[in-house]
Amino acid sequence: FSALTLDELTAQRDRARRDYDALVQRGLSLDLTRGKPSARQLDLASAMLTLPGGHTAADGTDCRNYGGGQGLAELRAIFSGLLQVPAAQLLAANNSSLSLMHDTIVHALLSGLPGVGRRWVDEPRVAFLCPVPGYDRHFALAERFGIELIPVPMNDEGPDMDVVEGLVREDAQVKGIWCVPKYSNPNGVSYSDETVRRLAAMPTAAPDFRIFWDNAYAVHHLTETPVEIADILALCAESGNPDRAFVFGSTSKITFAGGGVAFFGSSPANVSWLLGHTGKRTIGPDKINHLRHVEFLRDEAGVLEHMRRHRELIQPKFEAVDLILTKELGGTGLATWSKPLGGYFISLDVLEGSARQVVSRAAEAGIALTPAGATHPYGDDPADSTIRIAPTYPELPEVELAIGGLATCVRLVGTERLLERA
Ligand code: PMP
């Protein structure tokens, strides 16, 4: 639109205003805020509600009783390859990988990491690198413990590694980096092998630097050609940094978001460290739920087949978002957006300085979006341009309505901005 004459641009703005007024008149109430599975996705795992059929694990463990801090071996075997963690180095816990990330940070703060005398809480300052755009709950979790958040730009191969390497080499207070290495939240980027290799091998000033490798979307493919990423634990070990990575994952978006199983994988030293601390907190995880997952998912192929069914439900929603955005905004220069090959999100970039206004216009029209800025540390996107779209939860017709409405808001705010500048 920047090539339009003033009259043409004014006409586009007037059309957008009429469309927006009509949108508001409809009195919609739609929600694209959070990446939640839809009820139909959850229905795919309904059979789990009648499981487990028995209560005895493969090794004879009575799952009804206390114990088994590492989680059922047969469940760890199913997820070992999928999460690229040797089964002996994988923990199966209760629901929510976010709570495992929380606990590892608390233990590092209060007890220190293996082989390092100093606890994070005794450091003058603890900072984490935050590739942006990123996941708001990662940022909020670290912020809650007073950890300083340092944004690092993402490119299409992952975090900008020149920036990352510079920061970790120079600043011993940089203790961690948040990574969503596959189908990242929110822009769908998967890390290239070279990025993973550099993360594993880079020299760090902090001896207790950790990569928080949140592989939340390991098996959440939107195409028939799954993206594979390099094996972070193996590369860390090969590079002489065996304790560098904490791998997280969960079945929250495989089985039940509210009743899944979370996983932690790392070096033997880190696994014993976490198990030691977890043993003070609980006498064992919910093994009945582990057994239920084993009976339902059966093996790695069972997980992949189940995820194919998820894909059948959600891929049309992602496709609809792309089609509508292309039809409404393609070629206007008012927005660009990601075309993810997996995961749960699309990231929409609008003209600099206008994301907040687009989100508030959408809210006035009854379309709830994740707050602009949420994709950045402290909720502050300095360019005010990134909007996260989460299309999985509403049914397809609602997704279509909401994205059509959002596109109208982008046209309205965008044409107004261009006219102000003209
Ligand atoms: N990590 C990422 C990147 C996520 O997008 C989400 C859910 N939106 C989570 C973790 C939450 O995982 P869990 O349900 O296992 O706590």
User: Is 0.95 exceeded by the ipTM?
Assistant: yes
Per residue in 350-387, pLDDT (tens digit) is 999 999 999 999 999 999 999 999 999 999 999 999 99
Q: Where are the beta strands (DSSP E) in 106-147?
A: 127-132
Other CB atoms closer than 10 Å to residue 10's CB: what's the count?
14
Task: Give the residue-averaged pLDDT of 28-36.
Answer: 92
Q: What share of the chain is helix, strand, coil (3-state, %, to 5)?
A: 45, 15, 40
**Residue 363 pLDDT:** 97
Give me the helix-helix angle, 97-111 and 136-144, nearest 10°: 30
The average confidence (pLDDT) of the chain is 97
**Residue 225 pLDDT:** 96
Nearest ligand 1 atom to the CA of 180 is 3
**Residue 34 pLDDT:** 85
Residue nearest to atom 11 of ligand 1 (CA): 98
Rounded Cα distance, 317 and 324, in Å? 11
State the fold for domain 6-32+304-421.
Aspartate Aminotransferase, domain 1 (3.90.1150)
**Residue 115 pLDDT:** 84
**Residue 375 pLDDT:** 96
231 CA from centroid of ligand 1 (Å): 20
Residue nearest to atom 1 of ligand 1 (CA): 216
Nearest ligand 1 atom to the CA of 36 is 8
Rounded Cα distance, 73 and 106, in Å? 26
Q: pLDDT above 90 covers what percent of the chain?
A: 98
Per residue in 306-357, pLDDT (tens digit) is 999 999 999 999 999 999 999 999 999 999 999 999 999 999 999 999 999 9
- Counting ligand 1 atoms within 8 A of each CB, the residue from 36, 95, 185 with the most, and so the one to mutate, is 185
Query: Which tokens go with 252?
Result: 């929250």
List ligand 1's pocket residues with C-beta within 6 A.
35, 96-98, 135, 180, 185, 214, 216, 250, 252, 257, 262
Q: Where are the alpha helices (DSSP H) in 218-375?
A: 232-238, 268-281, 287-297, 300-329, 355-364
Nearest ligand 1 atom to the CA of 99 is 16
Q: For residue 129, give Cα distances in angstroms to 10, 59, 177, 215, 413.
A: 43, 42, 4, 17, 32
Residue 57 has pLDDT above 90, yes or no: yes
Residue 2 has pLDDT above 90, yes or no: no
- Which value, to the nearest 10 degrees, does the dihedral of the CA atoms of residues 185, 190, 193, 195 take? -40
Q: Are 219 and 304 in contact (CB under 8 A)?
A: yes
Phi, psi values for residue 7, rounded to 5° = -65, -45
**Residue 422 pLDDT:** 85
Q: pLDDT above 70 covers what percent of the chain?
A: 100
Q: Are 421 and 415 in contact (CB under 8 A)?
A: no
User: Please, what CATH class does the domain formed by 52-298 belong to?
Assistant: alpha beta
Query: Where exactly are the structural domains of the chain?
Result: 6-32+304-421, 52-298
Residue 117 has pLDDT above 80, yes or no: no
Residue 202 has pLDDT above 90, yes or no: yes
- Which value, to the nearest 10 degrees, does the dihedral of the CA atoms of residues 315, 319, 325, 330 take? 140
Residue nearest to atom 6 of ligand 1 (CA): 216
Task: Give the residue-averaged pLDDT of 126-137.
Answer: 98
139 CA from centroid of ligand 1 (Å): 12
Reduced to 3 states, what is the DSSP secondary structure of residue 144? Answer: helix
Other CB atoms closer than 10 Å to residue 226's CB: what's the count?
16
Q: For residue 170, give Cα distances in angstroms to 167, 194, 290, 402.
A: 5, 22, 43, 46
Task: Output the pTM of the full model.
Answer: 0.97
Taking alpha carbons only, the member of 71, 51, 31 closest to residue 298 is 51
78 CA from centroid of ligand 1 (Å): 20
Grade residue 3 by pLDDT with cuts at 50, 70 and 90: confident
Residue 119 has pLDDT above 80, yes or no: yes
Question: Which helix or strand (DSSP H or E) is residue 43 part of?
Answer: helix 39-43
Q: Position of tokens 């390859």? A: 81
Other CB atoms closer than 10 Å to residue 217's CB: what's the count?
25
The residues with which 389 forms a beta bridge, in sequence order, are 346
137 CA from centroid of ligand 1 (Å): 8
Q: Are 400 and 320 in contact (CB under 8 A)?
A: yes
**Residue 204 pLDDT:** 98
Per residue in 181-191, pLDDT (tens digit) is 999 999 999 99
390 CA from centroid of ligand 1 (Å): 13
Question: Which helix or strand (DSSP H or E) is residue 349 part of?
Answer: strand 346-350
Q: Are 185 and 135 in contact (CB under 8 A)?
A: yes
